[in-house]
């Protein structure tokens, strides 16, 4: 009986690494810490990643919602915060509260929805905004008296 308890404690103390899913992808940098999978409407959000790549073959290794991306040509490696796919939002005007996550990348507070903009200078932190969407997820984000072009609306993917 004692041997069984000791063996159980020993097995419980062994660290087991999570199984990773690996994906071969071609990516292009779309902004600070934001990479688009070429040919797909999928964005990879990284941490402190300074790889300026254009159609670069890469490996995306995911451990649930986070992981890492390895750039084949440059040999660089960056942590991945999350991967996002285009969200199917209906056309219309939405009153939202936004937080800036990175340059041209905003979170709609409490919704798990993210907005990719172009040349938006707002440093929004809990700011009221209006998201005006047309069919296809494009439109305008009105925040702090500025108009920002919306390239798409995204939600987190589970890989």
Residue 13 falls inside a structural domain: no
> Read out DSSP for 31-87?
ETTEEEETTSSEEEEEES-----SSEEEEEEEETTEEEEEETTT--EEEEEEEEEE-
Single out the residue of 79, 78, 117, 77 nearest to residue 101, CA to CA: 117
Which of 85, 106, 139 is at the close of a domain? 85
Asked whether residue 46 falls in the same domain as residue 64, the answer is yes
What's the pLDDT at 10?
A: 39
The per-residue pLDDT for range 101-134, each reduced to its tens digit, is 999 999 999 999 999 999 898 899 999 999 999 9
Domain of residue 30: give its range.
Answer: 21-85
pLDDT in tens, 9-19: 333 433 334 45
């Amino acid at each position: 009986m004692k041997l069984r308890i000791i063996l159980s404690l020993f097995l419980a103390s062994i660290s087991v690494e999570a199984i990773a899913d690996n994906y071969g992808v071609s990516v292009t940098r779309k902004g600070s810490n934001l990479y688009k999978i070429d040919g797909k409407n999928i964005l990879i959000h990284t941490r402190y990643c300074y790889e300026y790549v254009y159609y670069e073959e890469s490996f995306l290794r995911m451990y649930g919602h986070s992981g890492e991306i390895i750039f084949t040509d440059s040999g660089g490696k960056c942590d991945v915060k999350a991967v996002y796919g285009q969200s199917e939002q209906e056309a219309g005007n939405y009153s939202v509260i936004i937080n800036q996550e990175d340059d041209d990348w905003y979170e709609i507070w409490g919704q798990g929805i993210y907005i990719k903009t172009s040349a938006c200078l707002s440093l929004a932190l809990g700011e009221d905004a209006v998201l005006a969407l047309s069919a296809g997820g494009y439109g305008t984000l009105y925040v702090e008296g500025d108009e920002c072009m919306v390239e798409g609306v995204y939600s987190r993917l589970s890989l």
